């Protein structure tokens, strides 16, 4: 993306470091408490990251957030990248490989794991066709899937957002020799309780919403993610959906669980629901 990402060495970054130094100097830590802070460095860094994100976020759509206690009740945990790519090669015979060494890098803050996501162009000629293929595979794998948008998975109704399309293009250029991309992602909990447009608003320049194709792939490699009615349901903030098949793309796709089956539908982008969260990718800066 075109936005400049600041570090501690940039003038604004140095100013932010100065703000932290002022807080540290006023904290009055003695030797024992300072040592305890150092020993808890990982937790402290995570808390500091959350504070940075909170205080630097825009206030646009800030009223479209609700408290959420929903999470990964079914016990999902990210699989290893080799296990994921092996699953994908069974689902898509003839598909190539991934640069699995990328998954040896430290995860970016906020990501839950490294995920294997094929280029949709290796699956179908158009993006909607690729989404439909993934939905059909989920239905086959789960035994059933209810698609409330059956007959609407076409170019008039669904498309990737500009940011998500651009970010995947950039990832594809970086991993140019591979059919399967290795992407650091989170499965929705990070943005639980936020409307789709609020989640998009608070995402940094290096974070982007995941689309229906990518989320569907992640559900195929991680079927335990959505197995219970009280699992956090998943918004696809990386897609735009037009309910009327016209130029108004005011909805986003979602995956949910109800009646013993996975479902696929759409939601208004301005609706904040405690049982939904937008999945996203968080790239190293």
Q: What is the pLDDT along the chain (285 residues), one digit of tens a residue?
A: 344 555 665 665 555 666 667 666 756 667 777 777 787 766 666 566 555 555 455 678 899 999 999 999 999 999 999 999 999 999 999 999 999 999 999 999 999 999 999 999 999 999 999 999 999 999 999 999 999 999 999 999 999 999 999 999 999 999 999 999 999 999 999 999 999 999 999 999 999 999 999 999 999 999 999 999 999 999 999 999 999 888 889 999 999 999 999 999 999 999 999 999 999 999 987
Q: Which residues are CB-neighbours of 203 under 8 A, at least 6 positions away?
A: 209, 280
Closest CA to 255 of 222, 283, 277: 277
Q: How far apart are CA 64 and CA 80, in angstroms?
A: 35
Q: What is the pLDDT of residue 142?
A: 94
What's the pLDDT at 37? 72
Pairing of strands 276-278, 239-241: unpaired
Reported pTM: 0.81
What is the Rg, in whole angstroms, of the alpha carbon atoms belonging to the chain? 20
**Alpha-carbon span 178 to 187, nearest angstrom:** 23
CB of 110 within 8 A of CB of 186? yes
Helices (H) and strands (E) in the chain, counts: 8, 11
Give the integer Cα–Cα distance in Å for 169 and 172: 5
* Separation in Å, CA 209 to CA 139, 203, 213: 24, 8, 12
pLDDT at 57: 52
In order of 168, 178, 199, 281, the CA distances from 171 in angstroms are 5, 10, 21, 11
In this prediction, residue 32 carries a pLDDT of 73
Under 8 Å between Cβ of 99 and 179: no
pLDDT attached to residue 26: 58
| Alpha helices for the chain (secondary structure H) | 11-27, 31-39, 41-56, 81-91, 127-142, 162-174, 196-202, 212-221
Give residue 235's pLDDT. 98
């Amino acid at each position: 993306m075109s936005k400049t990402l600041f570090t501690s060495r940039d003038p604004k970054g140095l100013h932010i470091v100065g703000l932290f130094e002022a807080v540290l100097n006023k904290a009055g830590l003695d030797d024992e408490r300072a040592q305890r802070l150092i020993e808890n460095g990982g937790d402290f860094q995570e808390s500091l990251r959350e504070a940075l994100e909170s205080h630097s976020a825009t206030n646009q759509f800030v009223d479209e957030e609700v408290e959420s206690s929903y999470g990964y009740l079914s016990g999902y945990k990210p699989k290893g990248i080799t296990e994921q790519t092996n699953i994908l090669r069974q689902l898509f015979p003839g598909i190539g490989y991934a640069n699995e060494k990328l998954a040896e890098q430290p995860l970016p803050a906020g990501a839950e794991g490294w995920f294997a996501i094929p280029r949709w162009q290796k699956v179908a000629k158009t993006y909607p066709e690729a989404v439909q293929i993934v939905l059909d595979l989920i239905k086959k794998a789960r035994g059933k899937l209810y698609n409330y948008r059956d007959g609407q998975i076409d170019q008039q109704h669904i498309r990737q957002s500009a940011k998500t399309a651009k970010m995947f293009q950039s990832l594809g250029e970086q991993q140019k020799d591979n059919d399967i991309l290795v992407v650091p992602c989170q499965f929705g909990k990070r943005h639980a309780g936020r409307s789709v447009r609020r989640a998009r608003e608070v995402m940094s320049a290096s974070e982007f919403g995941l689309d229906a194709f990518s989320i569907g792939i992640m559900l195929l490699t991680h079927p335990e993610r959505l197995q219970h009615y009280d699992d956090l349901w998943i918004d696809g903030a990386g897609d735009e959906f037009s309910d009327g098949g016209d130029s108004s793309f005011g909805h986003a796709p979602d995956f949910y669980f109800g009646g013993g089956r996975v479902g696929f539908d759409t939601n208004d982008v301005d609706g904040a629901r405690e049982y939904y969260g937008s999945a996203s990718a968080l790239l190293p800066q």
